[in-house]
Amino acid sequence: MHRLTVELGERSYPILIGQGLLSNSNNLAPYIRGRQVMVVSNETVAPLYLQKLMEGLDGCDLDQVDHIELPDGEAFKNLDTLNRIFDALLECRHNRSTTLIALGGGVVGDMTGFAAASYQRGVDFIQIPTTLLSQVDSSVGGKTGVNHPLGKNMIGAFYQPRLVLADMDTLSTLPAREFSAGVAEVIKYGLICDEGFFSWLEANIERLMARDRDALAYAVERSCQDKAAVVAADEREGGQRAILNFGHTFGHAIESVQGYGQWLHGEAVAAGMVMAAELSRLRGDITGELVERVRTLLVRANLPVRAPEGMTSGQFLTAMAVDKKVIDGRLRLVLLAGLGRALIVSDCSPEEIEKSLRLCGAA
Amino acid sequence: MHRLTVELGERSYPILIGQGLLSNSNNLAPYIRGRQVMVVSNETVAPLYLQKLMEGLDGCDLDQVDHIELPDGEAFKNLDTLNRIFDALLECRHNRSTTLIALGGGVVGDMTGFAAASYQRGVDFIQIPTTLLSQVDSSVGGKTGVNHPLGKNMIGAFYQPRLVLADMDTLSTLPAREFSAGVAEVIKYGLICDEGFFSWLEANIERLMARDRDALAYAVERSCQDKAAVVAADEREGGQRAILNFGHTFGHAIESVQGYGQWLHGEAVAAGMVMAAELSRLRGDITGELVERVRTLLVRANLPVRAPEGMTSGQFLTAMAVDKKVIDGRLRLVLLAGLGRALIVSDCSPEEIEKSLRLCGAA
């Protein structure tokens, strides 16, 4: 088992990475302060892993363990579903010293985290991400929240878990499309801040796609290290943390126009990273050769590298204007200054953006 | 104009107390960082004071000022109404550097504060409390949130405003019942931490009830000072801050059983303070004479000092068991150890509590 610490002063927390972690109470007990636990999962993940987690919780000193299963999917990441968690907590009389455990992917993690941030103005929570995407991304960094019909992640909080458990065993049942979507974020870390990792990925992408346990554990650990380093330097996204959004502004536009749940988040980010790379090249910051390396690696990971069929550049620009990264009317974008080096700019013209979109197949 | 500072490190903020404050941009401009403002008010307050505030905002350097009016009343303090604020923010394309201004009583303030805490994971907000209760209580301390059908203030955040403006002019239109409800919280400060203020209130309650401007300003300032001192010492309610809940555990039971909005919050707290005082006397901590002084002062402020007609002690005990102050099954209560001295206890028996309830008319 590997152990990382996300350094955030009094809000620091560990990430444990390994196999067979769920059912071992030694991994859980030290991080549960009260005597009540509410496990939040979804209807897909609960049948697979809830029993294992319950075994782990059996060995903890608890009075009450409840669980709730949410419907599965980004389409349910909203205030109504969030309220079902509050209903369950109040019906089961959970008090201020309860611990919420998120067992599932990013949607479950984001909603459980926001529920924990808001229930009685804040209770403890533990993240057990069961998808590759959530292991390398949404379980690290304290971003929690839900979507609004007019925008993704528009309602939420910065709230840190007490513990993240990344159990490689849970990746064995992950559908191929979702697995690839996770690899998109893994590749992102190489691009924005870790040149050596990008080269490792180019050399090892077949092993990773075959879900070789060692390759997986290495990729998750290095991704978490990269993200933890960025988050530790900028917990509340005042500045440099924004580089983690590489590909995301374009990606969110795809998700929002196609309707949440049509494209997976990681798929949208993959295409978005190619758009951001093309834009970087257009501005003269990186070479066409690097853009092709990005495209090639994403294709090898079975990820999309073009805009959705029929989506226009006008649709992109409209959707991007409500993205959170707009400050006082200026669109901030994360581009590349080289391999492993990200750059935040706010001086892109709509024409430049449109050109890069067309290079990626936008109508 | 008087100026207090609530000392909370980098989250410190000023409270300005005086007359004619709303329409003066000098009071607002220094606390607005971006170029967008959303004023959140309700259908009762907006017709009275929105225009004045707009005059004040006219003198600030802003690109966009929007406003939304919520329905009036505690019954609307829920996730659905909260979502209307998010709808308005997104429809008007407010970005991360927007400022929310709460213009209204505690309900508007609590919901606007939680909306500010959650919109895009946190934007600035300014409190302009227009009721006596919200001026002396809910605008100081950073508690924000909404109710759930199973409990009051169960969903929320600790989130500090950038500024509180308490304009005495807004109290002139306050209905008598609401004014009295505010006086209940004023009296509370005397009881829990300010013996001299309690004596001042006994000597000046008629002037205060006649809404004498000087008496009002003095009472608001001293209440805010008392509360600010308690909050500064314990921002997140780990310990001593709980004394601010004197009378509230009983009061919340009344509000919850009667249905939110039947009894005003301050009215429920008034009756709750007498119950807590009776319980303190039963335990031998204060004299019967002090209980009578409490009762007399509340009656002079036209406040209830008995349980609602027909409400049983069983109903109280059941409702109190889901109150937030329960830690691992033990009911924590705030009692009095003397005039101006509060005491937190967790060893009250249901029998003692029942006895004090019956002394206050519970069936």
Mean pLDDT of B120-136: 96
Q: Which residues of B are catalytic?
A: 121, 143, 185, 227, 237, 241, 245, 248, 252, 265
Closest listed residue to residue A250, CA positions, set A306, A194, A176: A306
Q: Which amino acid is at B279?
A: L
Find out whether B36 and B94 touch, Cβ atoms under 8 Å. yes
Distance between CA atoms of B25 and A346, rounded to whole angstroms? 31
Percent residues over pLDDT 90 in chain B: 80
| Chain A partners within 8 Å of B122 (Cβ) | 157-158, 236
Nearest to B119 among A86, A155, A236 (CB): A155
Mean pLDDT of A173-179: 94
Output the pLDDT for position A189: 97
Parallel, antiparallel, or unpaired: how do β-strands A143-148 and A151-158 relate? antiparallel
In what side-by-side order are the strands of the sheet with A124-129? A2-6, A13-18, A163-167, A124-129, A99-104, A36-42, A64-70
Distance between CA atoms of A24 and A37, rounded to whole angstroms? 16
Distance between CA atoms of B75 and B180, rounded to whole angstroms? 20
Q: What is the maximum span of chain B, computed from C-alpha positions, in angstroms?
A: 62
pLDDT at A260 over 70: no
Find out whether A166 and A129 touch, Cβ atoms under 8 Å. yes
pLDDT at A236 over 80: no
Question: How would you classify residue A201: left for phi > 0, otherwise alpha for psi between -120 and 50, otherwise beta?
Answer: alpha
pLDDT band per the 50, 70, 90 thresholds, residue B303: very high
Parallel, antiparallel, or unpaired: how do β-strands A333-338 and B13-18 relate? unpaired
State pLDDT tens for residues A49-60: 999 999 999 999
Is B235 near chain A, with CB under 8 Å? no
Name the residue in chain A with its Cα closest to that of B98: A328
pLDDT band per the 50, 70, 90 thresholds, residue B349: confident
pLDDT at A27 over 90: yes
Find out whether B76 and B107 touch, Cβ atoms under 8 Å. yes
| Chain B partners within 8 Å of A147 (Cβ) | none
Q: What is the mean pLDDT of chain B?
A: 93
Parallel, antiparallel, or unpaired: how do β-strands B341-345 and B333-338 relate? antiparallel
Find out whether A46 and A103 touch, Cβ atoms under 8 Å. yes
Q: Does A285 count as an annotated binding residue?
A: no
Nearest to B90 among A120, A154, A156 (CB): A154
Cα end-to-end distance, chain B, whole Å: 48
Output the pLDDT for position B274: 98
Output the pLDDT for position A340: 96
Output the pLDDT for position A213: 85
Mean pLDDT of A5-9: 87
User: Where does chain B have alpha helices with state H?
Assistant: 46-58, 79-91, 106-118, 132-133, 176-193, 195-209, 213-233, 248-258, 265-282, 288-300, 313-320, 350-359
Distance between CA atoms of A74 and B87, rounded to whole angstroms? 19
Q: What element of type H or E holds A115?
A: helix A106-118
Name the residue in chain B with its Cα closest to that of A147: B120
Is A10 near chain B, with CB under 8 Å? no
The residue among A73 and A338 whose pLDDT is bigger is A338
**C-alpha distance from residue B138 to each of A324, B111, B113, B165, B223 (Å):** 30, 11, 10, 13, 12
Q: What is the maximum span of chain A, computed from C-alpha positions, in angstroms?
A: 61
Do the Cβ atoms of B157 and A90 come within 8 Å? no
Closest listed residue to residue B68, CA positions, set B90, B54, B48, B89: B89
| Residues contributing to the annotated binding site of B for Zn(2+) | 185, 248, 265
Closest listed residue to residue B150, CA positions, set B84, B80, B78: B78
Distance between CA atoms of A211 and B347, rounded to whole angstroms? 56
pLDDT at B326 over 70: no
Tokens of B113: 């504060």
User: What secondary structure letter does DSSP report for A119?
Assistant: B
Distance between CA atoms of B94 and B98, rounded to whole angstroms? 6
| Chain A partners within 8 Å of B329 (Cβ) | 63
Do the Cβ atoms of A157 and B122 come within 8 Å? yes
State pLDDT tens for residues B145-156: 999 999 889 999
Closest listed residue to residue B173, CA positions, set B104, B77, B270, B71: B104
| Residues contributing to the annotated binding site of B for NAD(+) | 72-77, 106-110, 130-131, 143, 152, 170-173
Output the pLDDT for position A137: 87
Closest listed residue to residue A219, CA positions, set A203, A206, A200, A232: A200
Domains observed in chain B: 2-172 (3.40.50.1970), 176-359 (1.20.1090.10)
Burial class (CB in 10 A: 0-12, 13-18, 19+), A338: middle
**C-alpha distance from residue B272 to each of B247, B269, B276, B279, B322 (Å):** 4, 5, 6, 10, 16
Phi, psi of B110, deg, nearest 5:
-65, -40
Nearest to A154 among B120, B150, B329 (CB): B120
Chain A interface test: which of B155, B159, B249, B318 (most A C-beta within 10 Å): B155
Output the pLDDT for position B114: 98
Output the pLDDT for position B307: 97
Q: What is the CA angle B207-B212-B216, rounded to 5?
A: 95
Do the Cβ atoms of A328 and B35 come within 8 Å? yes
State pLDDT tens for residues A341-354: 999 998 888 899 99
Output the pLDDT for position B260: 65
Q: Which amino acid is at A254?
A: I
Determine the distance in angstroms separating the CA of B329 from the nearest CA of chain A, rounded to an integer. Answer: 8
Cα–chain-centroid distance for residue B37?
24
Nearest to B154 among A90, A97, A145 (CB): A90
Output the pLDDT for position B261: 67
Q: What is the mean pLDDT of chain A?
A: 93
Is A346 near chain B, with CB under 8 Å? no
pLDDT band per the 50, 70, 90 thresholds, residue A133: very high
pLDDT at B236 over 80: no
Q: What element of type H or E holds A110?
A: helix A106-118
Output the pLDDT for position A232: 80
Which ipTM did the prediction report? 0.85
Least confident of A76-80, A244-248, A324-328, A350-354: A324-328
Name the residue in chain B with its Cα closest to that of A119: B155
Q: What is the CA angle A343-A344-A350, rounded to 5?
A: 115
